[in-house]
Every structure is written in C-alpha cells, then in structure tokens.
Amino acid sequence: MSREHVEIIRRIETAFNERNVGAVLAEMHPDVEIELIGGFADIMGQSTFSGEEGARRFFIDWYATFKTVYTVQEQLLDVGVDRALVLSKFRATVEGSETPVELPIGSIFTFKDGKIIRVAAYYDRAGAVEAAGLAE
C-alpha cells in the first residue's frame, strides 16, 4: 500500500470524526461509490450512494442520524495495489438516545487517481475481512 493511500485514509478518518463533509469529499473521486453492507444499509434506508452528490447526501444524512459518531482505526491492511482494508471501532449515540453503541466494523477502500473511488462499509467486520480475501 502506498504512503499516499495511508495518508488519505488518515485524513478521511480525521475529517469523518470532525463531521467535516467538505474535507471528506476532498479525498474522494468525483465518481465515488459508497456501498453499505449489512446493518448500516438498514439504518440509512439504502445501500449505495454514487458520485459526489450521493456521497454528500450520505454524510449529511449520516450525521443527522447520530448525535455522536466516531471511528477509531485499529488495523490497516494492504489488500492490493489500489485497495486497503480498514478495521475500526465505530462508536455512536443515536439521536434521541443516551446509550452509546460500539461496533467492530470493516471498510474496504479502493483508490483511483489519488482519490477514493469506492468504499464498501461492512457492519460486520468478518464480512469485510472475507470480502478482502483475508482470514481474520
């Protein structure tokens, strides 16, 4: 995995945790596709968001759903020239609740032209590991 890809993932995690939609989108290719796999799709009511406007809508709706939301990267794995698997802890509090939720999640990032072209976000970490072709 290139140093550039590692830096992009670090920047996007920081921007995500700061709820900075503009900074998140700055790391994404204009033709980005965000796919939610598992419970995240149920939360959002759809599973795929395409292009810059789709990604913008996803993040705005995501932040409206959660009172607090934060990810902590635990492991970053190289799964090909232009792909990386990020294993994280997802921490959130849903609007209208004081009870925090913590989940181990996984996301596969695909890169093109120095930007993220695809994010596959798995509610189930094992599903992400399997989709990446790795054994946990």
With bands split at pLDDT 50, 70 and 90, how would you rate the model's confidence at 15? very high
136 located within any domain: no
Instruction: Report the residue count for the chain.
Output: 136
The predicted-structure confidence for 95-110, as pLDDT tens digits, reads as follows 788 888 899 999 999 9
- List the strands of the sheet with 115-122, edge to edge: 48-50, 28-37, 115-122, 100-112, 83-94, 66-78
Q: Could you tell me the CATH number of the domain that includes residue 37?
A: 3.10.450.50
Residue 17 has a CB neighbour count (10 Å cut-off) of 13
Residues 6+ apart with CB under 8 A from 112: 29, 82
135 located within any domain: no
Q: Which domain holds residue 55?
A: 3-128
The predicted-structure confidence for 52-110, as pLDDT tens digits, reads as follows 999 999 999 889 888 899 999 999 999 988 999 999 999 999 878 888 889 999 999 99
Global pTM reads: 0.90
